[in-house]
Amino acid sequence: MTKPIPRLKSRLARLALGAAAVFALAANAAPPTPADIYGDLFIRVQEGRVFGDNKTFVDAVPTRDPQAIMADYNTAPPRDAVALKAFVLANFTVPGVNDTPLLPMRDHIKALWPQLVRQPEPAVAGSSKIPLPAPYIVPGGRFREIYYWDSYFTMLGLRADGDQKLVESMLDDFVSLIERYGHIPNGTRTYYVSRSQPPFYGLMLDLQQTDDATVKARRLAALKTEHDFWMAGARCATRGKPCERVVAMPDGTMLNRYWDGRDTPRDESYAEDRATAAEIPGRPAPQVYRDLRAAAESGWDFSSRWFADGRTLATVHTTDIVPVDLNALLYAMEIRIADQCREAGDKACSRKYRKQAIRRRVAVDTYLWVPDEKRYADWNAAAGKVTATLSAATLYPLFVGMAGQEQADDVAATTEAELLAQGGLRTTRIRSGQQWDTPNGWAPLQWIAVDGLDRYGHGALARTIADRWLHTVARTYAETGKMLEKYDVEERKPGGGGEYPLQDGFGWTNGIASALMDRYPDIDPTQDSASAE
């Protein structure tokens, strides 16, 4: 074999070294990956499976300089999974998540209604679902059936968005439920029938648009039946011994509380209720279950309003509490029965229910009004005094028109000083970790505050609450593309707490957003709010 000449050998060596250098240079110039760029943010998103498929985030496109994104992240790292996802969606275009241009929020809501409509369906043996005779709206997410008090706020939005036919349809469904069960259950599941929810049916009738005397008579009869349900305990309530949903106050006047016909763990929260009862040694489990169920009937499940220590679920004692919101709604029910009986020519009926309404208003003023604190409060029947918790329920007497002007003025001052946050109305001032406490705000309570304050001449404060709430909802919609069940009004972001993950859909949020935008057409939720703190 011929040996290579030295010069050629040297040249081949130089070429080999050059090639190695080129490959090394190429390796050194390899672009950084998302893991390199986003560090801890990347790890949290991927390990937390924020988007399910780990390829989703690595294909996302930043909407601004990555260094600026990471500077903001490092300054204030998101505290939980919900806040983390919101941060990512606010700073990245994520494929399949927020890469499609959003509709304007009002158009999005109108497009959501058909998705939340359910049609009548037959009963299925062994199923918990209660069939309804006419189409209706569900809240969305895990809430796959109609819910009582949610529906009033949904109906406000349907009316604002021009769907009166569905409003009438849902009224027919509620009449059907009252005729079958004597009341409107918490929701249309068999495990909800032992309890109701805040009684808004009378207020729903304000939204009806029918001249059919037969339909109106049937709806009025259903309203009377519902009143009978709430007052059934009057036959056996005595001072110191409430009966069912009725509490005899110290002067013998009858007011109401939340209650439930069963004293077992809730079917839908069975393990959670048993765990709560196990935390309370020495207290009979059936009483704990009844108090948990009563809190579920209140719609505020759960809140410091129902806790003896004002902080922890283990001290729940809902059945001891005479709530101001429930009694305000029953006053509204009695007034409406009286008015509708008068319109129907039944003077005796009108006098009967108006007397009951007047007695209730006097009792609320006597026991639930706290002049020194400028608020309406809940009454602890076991302790014989008002509770210390200030909550958005203080606005219900304004909402139903049972407050005096001075009382309304005082409540307005308290609301502005204590309950108004940068993103809307706080639920309470207590940070218990429960979903019906601060920092959460809820669509129904915003409407009740806005409508009640406006009724008594506090239009500027009403508008401020509406403005801040709409901006919170719009901001979160822009970041997530979703309408959510509840919001953090302290930091204007998705809400938290509760027994289940945050839900989107969402019936009453859609309804109140539409109703408020209809009421205040000059508010542009997409622009920075001039009224924010």
Which residues carry out catalysis?
A: 301, 485
Report which secondary-structure segment, H or E, holds 156: helix 148-160
Query: Distance (Å, rounded) from C-alpha 247 to C-alpha 294?
Result: 14
DSSP 261-278: S--S--GGGHHHHHHHHH
Query: Distance (Å, rounded) from C-alpha 301 to C-alpha 316?
Result: 11
Taking Cα atoms as reference points, which of 334, 364, 366, 363 lies closest to residue 350?
334
Report which secondary-structure segment, H or E, holds 440: strand 440-441
- Name every residue whose Cβ is closer than 8 Å to that of residue 57 and which is 6 or more positions away in sequence: 34, 42, 45, 46, 50, 51, 88, 92, 94
- Residue with token string 């030295």: 6
Tokens of 17: 């070294």
Query: Distance (Å, rounded) from C-alpha 198 to C-alpha 418?
Result: 24
Taking Cα atoms as reference points, which of 446, 475, 474, 473 lies closest to residue 462?
446
Report which secondary-structure segment, H or E, holds 405: helix 405-414
Which amino acid does the sequence have at 31? P
Report the chain's terminal Cα–Cα distance, integer Å: 90
As to burial, measured by CB atoms within 10 angstroms (0-12 exposed, 13-18 middle, 19+ buried), residue 135 is middle
Between helices 270-278 and 285-298, what is the axis angle to 10°? 130
Helix (DSSP H) and strand (DSSP E) numbers for the chain: 19, 16
Query: Distance (Å, rounded) from C-alpha 182 to C-alpha 179?
Result: 6
Taking Cα atoms as reference points, which of 37, 57, 59 lies closest to residue 47?
57
The string over 370-391, giving b where at least 16 C-beta atoms fall within 10 Å of a residue's C-beta and e elsewhere, is beeebbbbbbbbeeeebbebbb
Between helices 66-75 and 34-47, what is the axis angle to 10°? 40
Distances (CA, A) of 409 to 215, 262, 362, 412, 531: 39, 41, 19, 5, 20
